[in-house]
Amino acid sequence: MLRGDFLLRSGARSSYYIDKYLFTTQPGLLRRIAAALSAWVPPGVQRLAGPVLGAVPLVTAVSLETGLPMVIVRTDKPKDYGTSKQIEGALAAGERVLLIEDVVTTGGAALSAVDELRAAGAEVVGAVVVVDREQGGPEAFASRGVPFRALFTKTELGLS
């Protein structure tokens, strides 16, 4: 965690920043986080999904831990080369998908991924995240009918 004045993706300002790359680029820590998130994969999940870019190492690690296939979801504009897909990897309509995310503030990026998955015909059965900044994310997921769990909250980490 870093202290200072930071602009978050949500547009809000914060006196602290949770640098997800500090935990997703350390193999030992990533392995422990993946094991903890894997324990929360509900029965019947057929595929994992992670939004670009921060969640990619997490969803990959959980995929390796569980043996479940995964997809990567672009939440910004489609790329203008190659396949121009919003969802990279194989996803069949009707599949039960669990979304994995790194840090949630208001849930904006992750909920955009939920929209993309639903548009592709997937059933999003939940979202599991590493850190909930406690700024409306769980409520936003609940309002969209997506169960939400976080390994850690801002309060548990002693952040303010």
Q: How far is CA 126 from the centre of its chain?
A: 10
Q: Is the backbone peptide bond immediately before 53 cis, with ω within 30 degrees of 0?
A: yes
C-alpha pair distances (Å), 7 with each of 18, 60, 77, 146 = 12, 27, 21, 27
Query: Which residue ranges make up each domain of the chain?
Result: 2-153
In order of 9, 15, 44, 125, the CA distances from 29 in angstroms are 24, 25, 27, 26
**pLDDT at 6 (0 to 100):** 87
Per-residue confidence of the chain (160 residues) as pLDDT tens digits? 788 888 877 788 888 778 888 889 999 999 999 999 999 999 999 999 999 988 999 999 999 999 999 999 998 877 677 777 899 999 999 999 999 999 999 999 999 999 999 999 999 999 999 999 999 999 999 999 999 999 999 999 988 7
Q: What is the pLDDT of residue 9?
A: 74
Q: What is the pLDDT of residue 108?
A: 92
Residue 22, pLDDT score: 86
pTM, full prediction: 0.91
- Looking at CATH, the fold of the domain delimited by 2-153 is given as Rossmann fold (3.40.50)
